[in-house]
Amino acid sequence: MTESVRAALGALQDERDHSWTPAQLGLNASQRHELVIGFDQSRAIKIGDPMPNFSLEAVDGTTIRLDSLIATGPAVLIFFRFAGCPACNVALPVYQRALWPTLRDLGVPLVAISPQIPSRLSEIQQRHALDFTIATDRDNHLARQFGITFEANSATQQAATIPLGEVTGTGTWELPFPTALVVDEKGVVAWMDVTPDWMKRTEADAIIDAVRSIIVKV
């Protein structure tokens, strides 16, 4: 088994349990619970659904298009919240070590996607020396089509020292649920996993197994 995202996020939670106040822990746990119970799986894109032929802005200034990504085989998309998100700063480095080397060897593109504007989103790629593509989904256009967006509740908004829209450059509190998705070479969703609780993320092994199963069928 490769490095575990769950274990890495568990270490982050342990750190918070020792350093955060009960009120901070309660607020964080409350919103995550609300998102889990309120998530409507029927609204989310499903296995077998065709993908829209999207265009995304990579932080290096290039344009990422679906038809280019799947020109020679499947591609992996990972939606995350924003560059300063603590859980994202744990999960993406694990994907760099445990997921990306295998995908690279298989010739499978990996694109991590956030609504944050490129000039601010690039921080997370630089901070962790991520080798895979980081791209902006302007106005959550693609994530909305996938039915995987949410907005922070009023208590979280009131407790924030800086509005999230200022942090992301989007002007809103709308974010995507952490989501991993595999698109086959026909532009169809071959596999996906949505985790409404942002302290839970898809394991690298599960994504690798999904990719390999698609490649075997081709």
Topology annotation, domain 5-217: Glutaredoxin (3.40.30)
Residue of 167, 4, 170, 148 whose CA lies nearest to 77: 148
Output the pLDDT for position 217. Answer: 65
- How many other β-carbons are positioned within 10 Å of the β-carbon of residue 68? 13
pTM, two decimal places: 0.94
Half-sphere exposure for 201 (CA within 13 Å, toward CB): 30
Residue 218 predicted with pLDDT over 80: no
Which has the higher per-residue pLDDT, 218 or 172? 172
pLDDT grade for 115, boundaries at 50, 70 and 90? very high
